[in-house]
Amino acid sequence: MYLLVQATPIKVAILFTFIISLTAIAILLVIRNQRQKERYKQERDRNIQNMLQQQRDKEQRLEQQVLEQIQNKLQQQKNLETQLELQAKQRLLEIMNKKALEEQEQEKILLKEQEQRKQRLEQARQEKKDALLKQFNDTQLVDRIMDKTLVLGDTTSIVEAMFGKPNDIEKKVSKTKIKEIWKYQKYGDRSNSYSLKITIENNKVTGWEDK
């Protein structure tokens, strides 16, 4: 205070100016420091935000890669299943075609065998017919024998030509005639079970029973 009293107005002004300058410098330093802190905080926040954004981007990329890998594996699995399904269908088609070809070949063989059997039967029938014609020399009679059509008065030779040897013959002899029952086509366990019984008297057909 003493100094202020002793000082001249100029010195006082200089002193106040100095104090004000120091104060302004201090204020500026505080403001600068505060701004630096704010910039540092902002920079730190930006860095944190950048780091977080980079982390999110990295996680998204990883997630996208994992998703793409899963989709690729699923697509590969689907393609494999489709390929296996196509192979199975192709194999089944080949088996079916092979089976169809085998069935066709078997059918051809059966048809050929049936045709051969038919030809053999026709040949045997014709040979039998020729033999009968040679034996009886009567076309109508031979046709009737081939059709196994009996008529009253047929002889035993005609009956035998039609049906062959009988399975059994029941014979009854009287003073005036010889009666025979020729039995064919036995069935069942009973001794007298025959589908066809032909009655012959004196070597000629007098009747028959056809069940």
Of the three residues 116, 147, 178, the one that is the final residue of a domain is 147
pLDDT digits (tens, 9 = 90+) for 33-50: 888 888 888 888 888 888
Q: What is the extent of the structural domain holding 171?
A: 149-211
| Residue 203 covered by a domain | yes
| Residue 195 covered by a domain | yes
pLDDT digits (tens, 9 = 90+) for 5-14: 455 777 777 8
User: Could you tell me if 132 and 153 lie in one domain?
Assistant: no
pTM for the predicted model, two decimal places: 0.49
pLDDT digits (tens, 9 = 90+) for 60-75: 888 888 888 898 988 9
| Residue 185 covered by a domain | yes
Three-class secondary structure assignment of 79-92? HHHHHHHHHHHHHH
Angstrom distance (rounded) from CA 67 to CA 147: 87
> Which strand ranges, in their side-by-side order, compose the sheet holding 168-173?
168-173, 178-186, 194-201, 204-210
User: Could you tell me if 106 and 138 lie in one domain?
Assistant: yes
User: Could you tell me if 169 and 204 lie in one domain?
Assistant: yes
User: Could you tell me if 143 and 164 lie in one domain?
Assistant: no
Q: Domain total for the chain?
A: 2
198: CB partners within 8 A, 6+ apart: 150, 159, 163, 166, 181, 182, 184, 205, 207, 208
pLDDT digits (tens, 9 = 90+) for 114-149: 999 999 999 999 999 999 999 999 999 999 999 999
| Residue 154 covered by a domain | yes
Q: Is the pLDDT of residue 165 over 90?
A: yes
